[in-house]
Every structure is written in C-alpha cells, then in structure tokens.
C-alpha cells in the first residue's frame, strides 16, 4: 500500500470510530437517565474498573493493552462528565456550599494586614478599606488569628509575586485555616525606593534593611553596589518605621514611596526593582460567599500516589473548557516529599462547566477544598 491508500483507509476507519463513539455516548446517556429515573447512584467507579478489564481482554495484540486502557479511561472520563452534567441539570450532585451575594460588603468593615502603614499589604488593602479600619500585625500568622477570632472582618495576604513566585508560607497558612475563604484578589504593582534618614547621603549607606523578597527583587542594585549589605527584616514598612525610630546612621531601607514619606525618610533612589513587578494579594473572609462578578476560583487538593492522577485531574479543567491561571505545589508537611496542589482557574460557581469540574475533582482528589470564588482587581500606579 502506498501512503495515499493507507490514508484513505485511515479516513474510513476514523469515520467509523466517530460513529461508534457517538452511539456509545448515547447509550451512556441512556444508562444515566435510567439510573436517575429509578433513583440509583449514577457514578459507579467499580463498574468503570471492570469495564477497563473487559476492554483489555478484547485486544488481540498484547502490546496494545496499555493504549486501550488509555483510550477507555479517556472515554469513561468523558462519560462521567456527561453523567455529572445530567445530575447537575436535575439539581443533584456537587454543592459548593458557597452563598451567592449581590456584592461584597467591604464598606465600614475592618481589614487586618501584616506590616505597618505604607506596607504593600496596607496600600493594596486601602483600595477597598478606609484608613481608620486598617489593623496592623507583625506576623502573617497573627493576621489570620485576628480574623478568625473576630478582631477584624477581613484579612489581606500577599500570595504571589510576578518575579519572585509564590509566598510559600502564606499558602501553608491557608492550608491550616480551612474556615477562611478568598473573597477578593488584588494585583498591585510593587516598586521599591531606597530611603534613609534626612541628613544622610548615598555614600553613607553601608546597610540596607528590607523584606527578603524586596532584597531579592533588587538584586541588581546590590550587585552594582557590593559595598552595601542587604539585611532581612519582617516587612518593608516595618524596616522604614524602625529606621525612623532607631535613627541608625549609615543605614537605608527598601520600601514603598508611601512608607518612606509616612516615616519622614529621605528618598535617594526610586524604582529599584524590575519595572514589571506586581504582587497578588488575597482578601480573606470568614463566610463562604461569591458574587456574580467573581471570575476566578482557587482550589487545593492532595493526590493519591497513583501514576497519572495529576493528569486526570487536569483533564477535568481542560475538557470543561476552563482556563488554568496558576498551578503550584507545596509539601504536605508529613516529612515525605508529597504535595498539596493549588490551582487557580477562571470561572464562576454558577457556571455548569465549573460545577462539573468541581464534582469530578471532589471524586478524584484528596482533601479537596474550594478556597474561594472571587473578583479580581488590577491596580495600576
């Protein structure tokens, strides 16, 4: 056979495969309808496994057994999504437990943040909250405790920086607080200036204090000035406040322009970090709520140690037409190298594609959790 003939035969075969597949999906619908009408459970993972065994037994060439398994896993995954869709249409299946609200009640409410006035968390929080309702804490852990214990209505946490990556500790904190929910995302530009006490000049500076991420974001500056030492502190604005209070000579800080001004420091240089540098903040609340303008979801799950489990999990997004915007993993913390995954994707809890994907994820993942469904606000300076 030459290439043209083989291809002609392939086309005939493919047409037949499409036809059989359509027929199969119709039968799967019949099964689901029958089960729904007679009150039987629709999803049946035991039968799925048996079906895989049977399909393998049909193969003539033993080398193709793995491929057949792959093909049938895919077909059964599609069938499952179809069946879940039918369940959802009848008001059954997955319930997120989230309440729909008209809008998020930030007005007059309080927000707890880490740092001091002028910190990036503070500046991002001020987009939605009044100055007199901002509450400062020294550590991120205290921020979440303050929220949980009712000393604040909302909390703000930096989660990810476009240059530096995820704030690992804060993802771990989220995992430890299952009763807190993301209600708003803010993308806020980060731009550090070098500030010092009035009366000091650039040549006096020997030490520069700031948050480790800020020090790392200004690596170019430290490479240009090897005589200046970077010293980690808890927060950029706390570094600025401390410098004002201690009056330490020969010292500078990397902080926001606003923090430098707040604490009466002299700005020596601006825009020390990369131009395109922004941080994603989460505003967290205690209620599982979402609004109709919520366009993004965050979820987390662990995975059973089966080969391919992440692959099948991702298929639930892909084949529901959902767009992933982030995937990250963190060690579960059992001392083994096993992971919890964090996934963000676009959607709203009222979309049937979203509910379909979440239903499947709940079946397949361990410790599955919807962290929130929230609107996103990008702030430009």
Active site residue ranges: 279, 281
From 96, 145, 191, 329, residue interacting with its own copies (rule: CB under 8 A): 329
Residues 6+ apart with CB under 8 A from 4: none
Binding-site positions for substrate: 7, 24, 35, 44, 48, 79, 83
Three-class DSSP category at 66: helix
Question: For its own copies, which is the closer residue by CB, 38 or 203?
Answer: 38
**Least distance to its own copies, CB of residue 365, Å:** 15
Q: Looking up tokens 């989660």, which residue turns up?
A: 159
Regarding 366 and contact with its own copies (CB under 8 A), the answer is: no
Regarding 25 and contact with its own copies (CB under 8 A), the answer is: yes
Tokens of 44: 């049946």
Regarding 261 and contact with its own copies (CB under 8 A), the answer is: no
From 24, 92, 100, 206, residue interacting with its own copies (rule: CB under 8 A): 24
DSSP for 337-374 reads S-EEEEEEEE--TTSHHHHHHHHHHHHH-EEEEEEEEE
Residues 6+ apart with CB under 8 A from 130: 108
Question: For its own copies, which is the closer residue by CB, 47 or 249?
Answer: 47
Beta bridge partners of 341: 301, 329
Binding-site positions: 7, 24, 35, 44, 48, 79, 83
Length of the chain: 381
**Least distance to its own copies, CB of residue 22, Å:** 6
β-pairing verdict for 134-137 and 111-114: parallel
**Least distance to its own copies, CB of residue 370, Å:** 21
Question: For its own copies, which is the closer residue by CB, 101 or 376?
Answer: 376
Show contacts with its own copies in window 47-76 (CB under 8 A). 51, 54-55, 58-61, 64, 66-68, 70-72, 74-75
Distance (Å, whole) CA 312 – CA 324: 14
Regarding 138 and contact with its own copies (CB under 8 A), the answer is: no
Residues 6+ apart with CB under 8 A from 21: 75
Residues 6+ apart with CB under 8 A from 116: 122, 136, 235, 237, 238, 240, 241, 259
Show contacts with its own copies in window 81-120 (CB under 8 A). none
Return the range that interacts with its own copies (CB under 8 A); candidates 107-115, 202-210, 259-267, 336-344.
Answer: 336-344
Residues in contact with its own copies, counted by CB under 8 A, come to a total of 88
C-alpha distances in Å from residue 264, one per residue of 146, 197, 365: 29, 8, 52
Regarding 333 and contact with its own copies (CB under 8 A), the answer is: yes
Q: At what angle do helices 309-318 and 352-364 cross, to 10 degrees?
A: 170
Question: For its own copies, which is the closer residue by CB, 60 or 132?
Answer: 60
Question: For its own copies, which is the closer residue by CB, 28 or 288?
Answer: 28
Show contacts with its own copies in window 268-327 (CB under 8 A). 274-278, 280, 307-308, 310-311, 314-315, 317-319, 321-327
């Amino acid at each position: 056979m030459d290439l043209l003939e083989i291809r002609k035969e392939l086309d005939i075969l493919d047409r037949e495969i499409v036809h059989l597949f359509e027929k199969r999906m119709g039968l799967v619908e019949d099964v689901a309808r029958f089960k729904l009408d007679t009150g039987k459970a629709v999803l049946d993972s035991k039968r799925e496994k048996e079906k895989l065994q049977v399909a393998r037994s049909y193969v003539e060439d033993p080398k193709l057994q793995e491929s057949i398994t792959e093909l049938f896993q895919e077909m059964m995954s599609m069938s499952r999504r179809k069946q879940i869709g039918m369940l959802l249409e009848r008001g059954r299946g997955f319930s997120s437990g989230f309440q729909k609200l008209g809008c998020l009640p930030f007005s007059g409410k309080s927000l707890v943040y880490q740092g001091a006035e002028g910190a990036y968390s503070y500046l991002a929080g001020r987009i939605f909250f009044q100055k007199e309702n901002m509450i400062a804490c020294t550590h991120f852990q205290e921020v979440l405790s303050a929220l949980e214990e009712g000393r604040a209505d909302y909390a703000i946490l930096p989660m990810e920086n476009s240059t530096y990556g995820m704030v690992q500790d804060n993802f771990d904190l989220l995992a430890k607080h299952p009763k807190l929910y993301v209600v708003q995302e803010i993308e806020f530009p980060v731009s550090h200036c070098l500030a010092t006490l009035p009366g000091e000049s650039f040549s006096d500076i020997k030490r520069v204090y700031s948050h480790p991420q800020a020090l790392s974001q200004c690596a170019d500056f430290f490479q240009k000035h090897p005589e200046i030492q970077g010293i980690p502190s808890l927060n950029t604005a706390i570094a600025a406040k401390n410098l004002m209070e201690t009056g330490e000579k020969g010292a500078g800080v990397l902080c926001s322009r606003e923090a430098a001004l707040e604490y009466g420091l002299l700005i020596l240089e601006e825009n020390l970090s990369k131009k395109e540098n922004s941080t994603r903040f989460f505003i967290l609340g205690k209620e599982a709520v979402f609004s109709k303008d919520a366009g993004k979801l965050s979820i987390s799950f662990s995975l059973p140690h089966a080969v391919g489990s992440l692959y099948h999990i991702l298929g639930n997004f892909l084949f529901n037409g959902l767009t992933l915007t982030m995937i990250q993993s963190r060690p579960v913390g059992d001392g083994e190298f096993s992971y919890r995954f964090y996934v963000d994707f676009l959607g709203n809890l009222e979309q049937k594609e979203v509910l379909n994907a979440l239903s499947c994820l709940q079946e397949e993942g361990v410790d599955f959790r919807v962290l929130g469904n929230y609107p996103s606000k990008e702030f430009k300076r």
